[in-house]
């Protein structure tokens, strides 16, 4: 089994190498009168189409001074340790100074492995984009091709209006793709291979028409709506889910909710404060990635006119400020309820009052009984002596009245 897998991989690499060789050879770099060199290397310029014996001198942009070069025995001009400053126009002349030929020298680097990514905005089409990984200082071309399930290579069509991109139409779901992006310049080529399925690279476009509006008499709520991205076909098997993020304009922390609907109601907004909102989308089954965030929209929850602060009246040195609607309503309900009570509440209230009256009556009866028992015991013991009362009265009178 392992040998079969290795043989299959090896055969695929051979096919890939052959395809690359054919592609690069068919796109060989040719520019008349231009010679390309690699920075750091040595290059030899020849006086094309003329006998070496006729060459008397070389010039660089019209100047005879070329300190970074020397003439060979065949009167060729050899340039050592190329660097960007040597780029320019080189000409060879005969003894009379007549121009024999000219060549333009450009130097740079061969391509590196390009950076490349592929993305499907829906399940029926996908596109790939790329950029160089090395600043070569030289012109470059790109070859984009792909294989479907190890089939024959096909061309990924490049759009001239969108440089460094290509697209594949009518893609197949659950089918492996291999994308080859090859960068070619006059000094060579390099490539990157991407392997994927469409569902692994799906990334919808952002939702559109995001809007938010206040809800009357709800100072902490906002109703938010949006639409599917136009590039996503609304099919039964390919639905989207959404995440909504929002924050007050003066705060940096976002709050976030997820939903499968095209609308949602924010219930914890800051009363009287403007909010920033954005929404993004993803495949309902979590395939691929979330879309980019939609453009921002702003909204402020409903504000009651009665909740506004009155203008201070400095003529009377006093001013009043109305409480928040929610606080005012709660206080009114607590102190002076205006709504009709529930019958069960009335019954419970009457029962509570009856129990309270019974307890108070019982306390009074017990207290009266205790007093009656105390008085009864005093009378039983002989009552209060008259002499005792007379003595108390006599002590209270002044001495003059006693005498």
Encode the chain (403 residues) as per-residue pLDDT tens digits.
443 444 444 444 444 554 554 444 444 677 888 999 999 999 999 888 777 788 889 999 999 889 888 888 888 999 999 999 999 999 999 888 889 999 999 999 999 999 999 999 999 999 999 999 999 999 999 999 999 987 889 999 998 888 899 999 999 988 999 999 999 999 999 999 999 999 999 999 999 999 999 999 999 999 999 999 999 988 888 899 999 999 999 999 999 999 999 999 999 999 999 999 999 999 999 999 999 999 999 999 999 887 554 434 434 443 334 444 443 443 334 343 434 445 556 667 788 888 888 888 888 899 888 888 877 766 565 554 545 444 444 444 454 444 4
Structure tokens at 358: 């019974």
CA 161 → CA 16, 96, 124, 154, 158, distances in Å? 29, 51, 22, 21, 9
Boundaries of every domain in the chain: 34-108, 111-201, 208-299, 342-403
As a whole number of Å, the end-to-end CA separation of the chain is 142
Lookup result for tokens 């799906």:
202
pTM given for the model: 0.63
Given a contact cutoff of 8 angstroms between Cβ atoms, the answer to whether 128 and 207 are in contact is no
Instruction: Please name which of 116, 161, 164 lies closest in space to residue 140, comparing C-alpha atoms.
Output: 164
Residue 329: per-residue pLDDT: 41
Q: Rounded to an integer, what distance in angstroms lies between the CA atom of residue 282 and that of residue 261? A: 12
Q: Rounded to an integer, what distance in angstroms lies between the CA atom of residue 209 and that of residue 207? A: 7
From the options 2.40.50.140, 3.30.70.270, 2.60.40.10, 3.40.50.80, give the CATH code of 111-201.
2.60.40.10
Class of the 208-299 domain?
A: mainly beta
DSSP class of 313: B
Residue 379: per-residue pLDDT: 56
Task: Provide the β-strand partners of residue 318.
Answer: 313
Given a contact cutoff of 8 angstroms between Cβ atoms, the answer to whether 83 and 106 are in contact is no
* CATH annotation of 34-108: 2.60.40.10
Residue 299: per-residue pLDDT: 97
Given a contact cutoff of 8 angstroms between Cβ atoms, the answer to whether 220 and 301 are in contact is yes
User: Are domains 34-108 and 111-201 of this chain identical in fold?
Assistant: yes
Q: Is 298 exposed, middle or buried (0-12, 13-18, 19+ CB in 10 A)?
A: exposed
Given a contact cutoff of 8 angstroms between Cβ atoms, the answer to whether 130 and 149 are in contact is no
Q: Rounded to an integer, what distance in angstroms lies between the CA atom of residue 304 and that of residue 137? A: 64
C-alpha of 326 from chain center: 35
């Amino acid at each position: 089994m392992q040998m079969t897998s290795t043989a299959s991989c090896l055969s695929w690499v051979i096919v890939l190498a052959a395809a690359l060789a054919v592609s690069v050879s068919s796109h060989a770099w040719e520019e008349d009168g231009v010679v390309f060199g690699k920075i750091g290397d040595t290059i030899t310029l020849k006086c094309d189409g003329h006998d070496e014996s006729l060459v008397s001198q070389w010039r660089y942009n019209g100047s005879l001074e070329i300190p970074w070069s020397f003439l060979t025995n065949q009167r060729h001009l050899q340039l050592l340790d190329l660097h960007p400053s040597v780029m320019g126009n080189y000409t060879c002349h005969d003894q009379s100074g007549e121009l024999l030929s000219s060549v333009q020298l450009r130097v740079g680097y061969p391509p590196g492995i390009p950076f490349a990514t592929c993305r499907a905005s829906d399940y029926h089409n996908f596109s790939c984009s790329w950029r160089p990984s090395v600043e070569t200082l030289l012109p470059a071309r790109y070859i984009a091709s792909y294989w479907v399930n190890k089939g024959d290579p096909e061309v990924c069509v490049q759009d001239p209006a969108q440089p460094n991109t290509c697209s594949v139409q009518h893609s197949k779901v659950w089918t492996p793709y291999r994308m080859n992006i090859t960068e070619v310049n006059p000094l060579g080529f390099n490539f990157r291979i991407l392997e994927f399925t469409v569902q692994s690279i799906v990334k919808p476009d952002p939702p559109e028409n995001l809007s938010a509006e206040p809800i009357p008499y709800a100072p902490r709520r906002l109703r938010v709506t949006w639409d599917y991205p136009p590039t996503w076909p609304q099919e039964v098997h390919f639905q989207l889910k959404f995440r909504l993020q929002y924050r007050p304009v003066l705060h940096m922390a976002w709050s976030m909710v997820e939903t499968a609907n095209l609308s949602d109601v924010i219930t914890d907004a800051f009363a009287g404060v403007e909010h920033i909102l954005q929404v993004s989308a993803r495949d309902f089954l979590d395939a691929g990635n979330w879309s980019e965030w939609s453009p921002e929209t702003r909204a402020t929850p409903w504000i009651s006119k009665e909740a506004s602060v009155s203008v201070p009246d400095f003529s009377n040195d006093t001013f009043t400020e109305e409480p928040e609607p929610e606080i005012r309503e709660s206080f009114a309900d607590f102190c002076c309820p205006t709504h009709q009570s529930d019958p069960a509440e009335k019954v419970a209230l009457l029962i509570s009052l009856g129990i309270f009256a019974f307890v108070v009556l019982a306390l009074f009866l017990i207290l009266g009984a205790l007093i009656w028992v105390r008085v009864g015991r005093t009378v039983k013991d002989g009552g209060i002596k008259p002499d005792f009362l007379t003595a108390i009265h006599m002590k209270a009178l002044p001495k003059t009245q006693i005498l």
